[in-house]
């Protein structure tokens, strides 16, 4: 009913004693659904065949456990550490490339073994869009600046593809963008760059030459406002240092505003709209190593008390929630979570790799703590038309 996705008002599930405001856009995106569909179809079509995943299919423990229960084995962990040596696989085996994509170097290794990576490649098309955009601006002699988490599978893959075509450097946040700006302007000596950005720049990167023309792309799950702010900062740096104006900016800075994933943007916009509600707390559901989910948590934390969980089991009782602090990577048991008031107002959303069934489980769990008001069946009937 909102084809242009202009309305970010959350959906109210009013149970009476508890009101749950569900984000207008949440959960699985096309890339994740497509990857899961390919994976399970491959399992169904090849009984008895050895099937491997290069690493986690997506950052969701339930989905990955389900794949493992169906016999799929992981070759690497999320950081790229080898779990099963490539020497143990053969050309008769199947290797699935996860939704994040993979590096050109790993593709080459697998192809050498005889693995057809193209046939079982579940790389998200929006990740591939970033690769294609990088290649396009590289052909115009721009250096590629990648806003992303250096150790994330997607960023490692994007860096590999980008650096095969042009000098490339990864920056993780605004702080690093400001540092990079100082090397562009000459405020900091070039030789310090190599230590500051160690492990984040392409082979042969020349600070004096390779920061003359730049373009910014991003890991598709980063916070949209952060990527835009970083691009704006670097664009302004180029304007000031090279004495440019709007008619000459493209001589030094490529327009790359179209590389953010639609689902990332929609989910973040929906959370911003949901935060207009005066609520008691927010719950965000998703895998603890999910980048896009952590950014939804980050948005909510700025406004109100927020709990990051990966299943309904983490809601221990009406008073206690076992939740994840993504800042220090620890699970915490917090008390006095659901206030003693009527009604309790809760904001709810989930990351792009979180199955909708988990969201429903959380709604059921929250509803179970309140005896008064509508039942779940009554609520469902309200939305049938």
Which residue do the tokens 């600070």 mark? 207
Give first-to-last CA distance, the chain, whole Å: 13
Tokens in use for 374? 């509508």
Among residues 56, 107, 154, 176, the one annotated as catalytic is 154
**CA 103, CA 287: separation in Å to the nearest integer?**
23
Q: How many CB atoms lie within 10 A of CB 320?
A: 15
**CA 103, CA 146: separation in Å to the nearest integer?**
15
User: Which backbone phi and psi does 216 adopt, to 5 degrees?
Assistant: -110, 125
Tokens in use for 275? 């935060």
**CA 52, CA 39: separation in Å to the nearest integer?**
10
DSSP string, 25-43: S-S--HHHHHHHHHHHHHH
Residue 250 designated active-site: no
Reference 102, options 75, 139, 62, 73; nearest CA is 75
Is the separation of the CB atoms in 39 and 73 below 8 Å?
Answer: no
**CA 322, CA 2: separation in Å to the nearest integer?**
35
> Can you list the alpha helix ranges (DSSP code H) found in the chain?
30-45, 61-69, 104-113, 125-138, 153-163, 174-185, 193-196, 207-210, 224-241, 262-274, 291-301, 356-368, 376-382
The distance of Cα 7 from the centroid of its chain, to the nearest Å, equals 23
Question: Which residues, other chains included, contact 185 with Cβ-Cβ below 8 Å and sequence gap of 6+?
Answer: 237, 240, 241
Q: 3-class DSSP state for residue 92?
A: coil
Question: Which residues, other chains included, contact 196 with Cβ-Cβ below 8 Å and sequence gap of 6+?
Answer: 179
Which residue do the tokens 């508890």 mark? 18
User: Could you list the active site residues?
Assistant: 154
């Amino acid at each position: 009913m909102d084809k242009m996705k202009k309305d970010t008002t959350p959906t109210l599930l009013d149970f009476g004693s508890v009101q749950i405001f569900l984000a207008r856009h949440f959960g699985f995106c096309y890339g994740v659904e497509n990857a899961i569909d390919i994976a399970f179809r491959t399992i169904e079509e090849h009984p008895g065949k050895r099937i491997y995943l290069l690493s986690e299919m997506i950052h969701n423990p339930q989905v990955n456990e389900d794949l493992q229960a169906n016999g799929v084995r992981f070759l690497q962990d999320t950081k790229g550490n080898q779990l099963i040596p490539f020497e143990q696989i053969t050309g008769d085996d199947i290797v699935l490339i996860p939704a994040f994509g993979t590096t050109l170097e790993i593709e080459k290794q697998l192809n050498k073994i005889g693995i057809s990576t193209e046939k079982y490649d579940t790389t998200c098309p929006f990740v591939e869009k970033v690769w294609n955009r990088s290649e396009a601006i590289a052909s115009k002699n721009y250096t590629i600046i990648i806003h992303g988490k250096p150790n994330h599978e997607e960023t490692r893959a994007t860096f590999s593809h980008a650096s095969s075509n042009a000098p490339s450097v990864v920056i993780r946040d605004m702080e690093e963008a400001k540092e990079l700006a100082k090397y562009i302007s000459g405020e900091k000596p070039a030789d310090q760059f190599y230590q500051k950005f160690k492990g984040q720049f392409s082979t042969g990167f020349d600070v004096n030459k390779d920061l003359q023309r730049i373009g910014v792309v991003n890991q598709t799950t980063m916070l949209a406002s952060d990527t835009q702010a970083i691009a704006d900062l670097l664009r302004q740096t180029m304007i000031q240092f090279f004495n440019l104006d709007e008619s000459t900016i493209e001589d030094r800075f490529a327009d790359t505003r179209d590389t953010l994933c639609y689902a990332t943007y929609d989910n973040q916009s929906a959370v911003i709209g949901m935060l207009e509600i005066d609520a008691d707390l927010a719950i965000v559901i998703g895998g603890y190593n999910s980048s896009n989910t952590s950014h939804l948590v980050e948005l909510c934390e700025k406004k109100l008390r927020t709990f990051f969980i990966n299943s309904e089991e983490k809601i221990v009782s009406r008073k206690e929630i076992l939740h994840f602090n993504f800042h220090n990577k620890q699970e915490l048991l917090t008390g006095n979570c659901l206030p003693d008031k009527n009604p309790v107002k809760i904001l709810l959303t989930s990351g792009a790799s979180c199955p909708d069934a988990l969201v429903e489980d959380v709604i059921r769990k929250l509803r179970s703590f309140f005896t008064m008001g509508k039942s779940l069946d009554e609520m469902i009937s309200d939305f049938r038309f």
